[in-house]
Amino acid sequence: MVQPDFHAFRRGDTVPVFHFRVGAEEARAYLDATGDEQSALWTETVPPLAAGALLLAGLMDEVPLPAGAVHVGQDFEFVAPIAIDADIEARMNIAQQSFRAGSNVVVFGCELTSGGRLVMRGRTMITAPAPTAEVAQ
Candidates 74, 96, 102, 117; binder of another protein (CB under 8 A) is 74
Taking CA atoms, 41 is separated from 31, 45, 91, 105, in Å, by: 11, 8, 27, 36
Nearer to another protein, 6 or 76 (CB): 76
Span near another protein by CB under 8 A; candidates 4-12, 63-71, 88-96, 110-118: 63-71
Cα–Cα distance between 14 and 17 in angstroms, integer? 8
User: Is residue 83 within the footprint of another protein (CB under 8 A)?
Assistant: no
Q: What residues between 29 and 48 interact with another protein by CB under 8 A?
A: 29-30, 32-38, 41, 45-48
7 near 65, Cβ under 8 Å?
Answer: no
